[in-house]
Amino acid sequence: MQMKHELVLATRNKGKVAEVERLLKVHAPNVLLRSVAEFDLADVEETGDTFEANAILKALTIAKETGLPALADDSGISIDALGGAPGVYSARWAGKHGDDLANIEKVIRELVDVPDSKRGAAFVCVIALALPNGKTFTVRGELRGMVRHAPSGSEGFGYDPIFQPDGYQITTAEMSPEEKDSISHRGIALRKIAPEIQPFLSGDK
């Protein structure tokens, strides 16, 4: 039997954890995922101004602190009419980190006068792998869509209730988890990185 590679999932967001676990179980079955919650570590401060910088910062900090390889996700929504904001500030857009309802309300208010033709947006996800020795690797996934005027649906997390992907009439919060995975920014990034994990961990890449 092949040995499983241990990998610490360096995210505390429960919505993301569920999606990453679901996708890696299918696309990287040889990886034994451990949670950052198993270790007594402080939160990593996200000081970068790009998704790539923050994903690397999170993965590298956790890899160094645990002595194990780590995988981190930095993600968010980039809204055309807001010049790409909230971007890396998506989790704390309304002030308090991770207050999904307040974040949604703030975006709805900011776009109140913006017509449908100008409500384009993208969900962006950068996944980083890091080793305790400093080696890193990143991939990016994006999903284009538009911002709805009002929330709809109760699946998913974050901005899902107001995000309608291109080609759909429903929000990502109205999709089954499997349907969201099949098109999402995180699904795209994880399917890209899955085949790279084993070579990366065993030093072949």
Q: At what angle do helices 185-201 and 14-27 cross, to 10 degrees?
A: 60
CB-count exposure of residue 98 (10 Å: 0-12, 13-18, 19+): middle
By CB under 6 A, what part of segment 2-21 binds ligand ITT?
11-13, 16
Nearer to ligand ITT, 90 or 136 (CB): 90
Question: Which of 22, 32, 14, 10 is CA-nearest to residue 201?
Answer: 32
Q: Which stretch binds ligand ITT (CB under 6 A): 23-31, 95-103, 107-115, 132-140?
A: 95-103
Residue 3 amino acid letter: M
* Contact status: 141 vs ligand ITT (CB under 6 A): no
Q: Which stretch binds ligand ITT (CB under 6 A): 97-105, 107-115, 130-138, 145-153?
A: 97-105
Q: Pick from 91, 107, 127, 188 the residue near ligand ITT by CB under 6 A.
A: 91
Q: Pick from 65, 74, 174, 181 the residue near ligand ITT by CB under 6 A.
A: 74
Q: Which stretch binds ligand ITT (CB under 6 A): 22-30, 63-71, 130-138, 153-161?
A: 153-161
Q: What gap in Å lies between CA 92 and CA 64, rounded to an integer? A: 26
* Contact status: 191 vs ligand ITT (CB under 6 A): no
Phi, psi of 141 (to 5 degrees): -130, 145
CB-count exposure of residue 6 (10 Å: 0-12, 13-18, 19+): middle
Q: What is the nearest approach in angstroms of ligand ITT to the Cβ of residue 57?
A: 10
Where are the strands (E) in 20-117, listed by range? 31-35, 70-79
- The residues annotated as belonging to the active site are 74
Contacts to ligand ITT by CB under 6 A: 11-13, 16, 46, 73-77, 90-91, 98, 100, 103, 123, 156-160, 184, 186
